[in-house]
Amino acid sequence: MNFTAVWPISDPSDSDAADSLGVGTPEDVDALLARLAEPGAGPATLEHAERDLITDTEGLLGAPGDTRIPDHDVVTAVHGGYGYLTYADPEHDYAVLRGRADSPAHHTEHVDYPAGSGVPVGELAAALKDFLATGERPTAVEWREV
């Protein structure tokens, strides 16, 4: 099993700066989280290779019905010492982690993590290793719909 992570990088000299990583082992998850903790790293969109593709009926990536897209929406970030994760798929509504009460909100261009949705980075690592192994919404963490 594996997933691909793609994230933007804030770089004043390159408005299109981004990075990606193929994740196939638990050690790769740890490497991904270290890279997401680097200055300028934005939230990473994760696409699990074992999940289904569905028809883009809404036209998110071209003309409606012309494109196949992942059946899941998973985005993770590391910010201020906390790990953040969102998840949605056909069986689960959009949700964030039930995190530490003292974790701050983290707002980005494409995703907003509310206050209280950040967890220790080790807990995020466990959740992503679960996602890597199963392709399903991680059960190693608690969720709350937003």
The answer for residues whose C-beta is within 8 angstroms of residue 105's C-beta and 6 or more apart is 112, 113, 114, 115, 117
Q: How confident is the model at residue 56 (pLDDT cuts 50, 70, 90)?
A: confident
Span 67-78, average pLDDT: 94
Question: With 0-12 CB in 10 A as exposed, 13-18 as middle and 19+ as buried, what is 3?
Answer: buried
Q: Closest Cα to residue 138, out of 29, 28, 59?
A: 29
Span 97-112, pLDDT tens digits: 999 999 999 999 889 9
Structural domain boundaries of the chain?
3-145
Cβ within 8 Å of residue 79, ≥6 positions away: 106, 113, 118
Please write the tens of the pLDDT for every residue from 12-28: 899 899 999 999 999 99
Q: Is the pLDDT of residue 65 over 90?
A: no
The arithmetic mean of pLDDT across residues 57-84, rounded, is 90
Instruction: Answer whether 0.95 is exceeded by the pTM.
Output: no
